[in-house]
Chain A
């Protein structure tokens, strides 16, 4: 079957989708967006977390056919998504967003603190780098999407809030303390900016 939906602010079309296929599979294998990671395929690990109509979900548990006509934001579009939110309070579908090609080639080249070189990241992405919250990196995309959404709704989270918001994301390197540091850092910077 064919599935039409919006990914990172741009309309996309996936063809030859099997009816039992997950959104995660469509993103990774049909659209070439491997940022959302495939680990447990049962909603345990959170590494495939994306925003579906704004809400964080495990994309491995969403059937491809269920996203017809709906909006998905993946980690590849997170930098632009956060930028649009900060500048315009959001983005009308199609008017901005990240093209499929840009998303496919997206890489986390954060700004170097000394030289100032590199592409712009979302505040949560920059905070993960600055706090050393990335080890093997496999859980990172899911954590970024989940943490970004929490900071959108709760700009001043307590440690308990952060733990709860990230309770569906597992890190097998067990680098949770640095991840907590990163989210606190992003929240603090967000507070300064306002």
Chain B
């Protein structure tokens, strides 16, 4: 095994181009487990810790450019206003020790269906910035990024540099089912974001299909129901039948398996419950904000 220690992003891209089988390691919270347990013996480890840019973020007008290695702890502490869904998701990641090391880039690189960041990214709307020495930078829409169980749209010579995540324009929520609050791989997870500017709702489901997925039929149904009832303007409580139908459609978007953490039917059920709850929480928050804005005006 060789340990490659590029001092800059350009060096890292060159190393990855020269050794496409090199395994990038940043927080190490996935890669080191596999090495410790002898599940993986990569020919090259490509250490990204010396590249300072990767742990920085920029808050732009419409989106946040989040460096691939920004630790979850930092997201929780500094980006709660801009990325509330991802901040909540970050807080459910493992333990303080893991959150101090792990970041969204690793979650995307591993592309486990159970990765905690995915539902929040799907719900908020995001693009993954990847780069290769030969072809330069490209932005992959998050909906096209996950291609299979632990597979993603990265080419062998590419590295993940950053994620561009839409800044919240409305309330966002995140929910995760596990046996305790810390140190759990999600049995299933659900992210929901209200986008009042476009009058749309986006979702993300984790650990209940071969890849993280959006519940698109549920989103379309809810978008239409909210529009039809004038909910965005009148700020009324969501009709229980609408919430119920939304929850059922979210369950329907799942394609889960039975495994040690839970059964397929439990996952389907739990996703429906989380969908209804997160919709209620975010909508109550939206109504509160809308009422306050009206009061001020």
9-residue interface stretch from A15-23, A99-107, A180-188: A15-23
A29 within 8 A of B: no
Q: Using a CB-CB cutoff of 8 Å, which residues 30-76 of chain B contact chain A? A: 31-33, 35-37, 41, 45, 47, 49
Is the pair B101, A57 in contact by a Cβ cutoff of 8 Å? yes
A127 within 8 A of B: no
B95 within 8 A of A: yes
Most buried by B among A41, A44, A168: A168
Known contacts A20-B1, A49-B97, A66 near B47 by CB under 8 Å: yes
Q: Which B residue sits closest to A68, measured CB to CB?
A: B5
A61 within 8 A of B: yes
A56 within 8 A of B: yes
Contact with B along A42-64 (1 / 0, CB 8 A): 11101001000001111011110
B183 within 8 A of A: yes
Is the pair B101, A61 in contact by a Cβ cutoff of 8 Å? yes
Chain B, interface residues (CB within 8 Å), range: 20 to 34
Is the pair B96, A164 in contact by a Cβ cutoff of 8 Å? yes
Distance (Å) between the CB of B47 and the closest chain A CB? 5
9-residue interface stretch from B21-29, B187-195, B228-236, B282-290: B21-29
Q: Which A residue sits closest to B36, measured CB to CB?
A: A41
Distance (Å) between the CB of B186 and the closest chain A CB? 15
Q: List 29 A-B contacts (CB under 8 A).
A: A19-B2, A19-B3, A19-B45, A20-B1, A20-B35, A22-B36, A43-B32, A43-B33, A43-B95, A43-B98, A44-B183, A46-B95, A56-B96, A56-B100, A58-B97, A58-B98, A60-B32, A61-B28, A61-B101, A62-B28, A63-B32, A63-B35, A65-B47, A164-B96, A167-B95, A167-B96, A167-B183, A168-B96, A168-B97
B residues at A contact (CB < 8 Å): 1-3, 5, 25, 27-29, 31-33, 35-37, 41, 45, 47, 49, 94-98, 100-101, 181-183
